[in-house]
């Protein structure tokens, strides 16, 4: 898949961005100092406000994370769920791209710091919702690819399907799984999830 040729849908996404100065690029250090109660992600220094997820979204998140967490008992990798910050470029407080994946798995313990995951997770799962779909499908897809996320799942509650992106030779290879199929993770060898349990 040629990531650079994908349409970003950026004009639609930016209408949901925070009302801060668009000419300024923010970092995690700025974001951490904001005193409101909203949730945000930073993409190339631009803030995107995040709305509350639906009940269906959270049901999918809970079941996926439960199965992954159960699989990882006694194993070195760790699973985290939103809202946890990921400084995707590994620049810590100076990072201008800070995301909150719905679910992510980290196998390098040195990336897990007190405030955030500093660097790319090994595996990320995003669950589509109307307010985040453009980010998840285009902009964050590019960021995860560039950062080296080895496995990226995009779960679509409406289609009851999951697109799985596997990083091979610097490119994402995509497979789509329907609600009657089972996904065998590449990163988590031996972990299989039946989508009939998810949707």
C-alpha dihedral sign at 127, 172, 17, 118: positive
| Mean pLDDT, residues 146-159 | 98
The upper half-sphere exposure of residue 62, i.e. CA atoms within 13 Å in the direction of its Cβ, equals: 7
| Mean pLDDT, residues 148-176 | 98
pLDDT at residue 24, as a whole number:
81
Q: What are the tens digits of pLDDT across the range 38-62?
A: 889 999 999 988 889 999 999 999 9
**The total number of structural domains that make up the chain:** 1
pLDDT at residue 23, as a whole number:
73
Q: What CATH number has the domain bearing residue 15?
A: 3.90.1570.10
Contact assessment for residue 108 and residue 119, using Cβ atoms and an 8 Å cutoff: yes
pLDDT at 103 over 70: yes
Q: What are the tens digits of pLDDT across the range 6-34?
A: 444 443 444 444 556 667 889 999 999 98
Residue 52 per-residue DSSP state: P
pLDDT at 3 over 60: no
Q: In the chain, what percentage of residues exceed pLDDT 90?
A: 79
| Mean pLDDT, residues 96-121 | 98
Residues spanned by the domain of 89: 3-197
pLDDT at residue 123, as a whole number:
98
| Mean pLDDT, residues 192-196 | 98
Closest CA to 113 of 90, 95, 140: 90
């Amino acid at each position: 898949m040629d990531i650079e040729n994908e349409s970003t849908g950026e004009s639609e996404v930016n209408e949901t961005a925070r009302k801060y100065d668009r000419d300024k690029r923010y970092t995690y250090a700025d974001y951490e100092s904001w005193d409101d109660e909203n949730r945000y992600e930073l993409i190339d220094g631009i803030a995107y406000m995040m709305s509350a997820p639906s009940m269906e979204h959270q049901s999918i998140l809970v079941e996926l994370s439960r199965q992954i967490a159960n699989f990882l008992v006694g194993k070195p990798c760790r699973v985290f769920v939103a809202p946890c910050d990921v400084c995707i470029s590994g620049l810590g407080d100076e990072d201008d791209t800070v995301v909150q994946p719905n679910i992510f798995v980290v196998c390098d313990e040195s990336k897990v710091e007190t405030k955030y995951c500093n660097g790319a997770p090994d595996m990320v799962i995003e669950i589509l919702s109307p307010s985040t779909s453009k980010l998840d499908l285009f902009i964050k897809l590019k960021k995860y690819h560039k950062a080296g996320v080895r496995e990226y799942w995009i779960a679509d509650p409406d289609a009851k399907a999951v697109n799985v992106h596997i990083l091979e030779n610097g490119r994402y290879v995509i497979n789509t799984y329907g609600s009657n199929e089972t996904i065998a993770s590449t990163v988590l060898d031996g972990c299989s999830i039946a989508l009939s349990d998810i949707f």
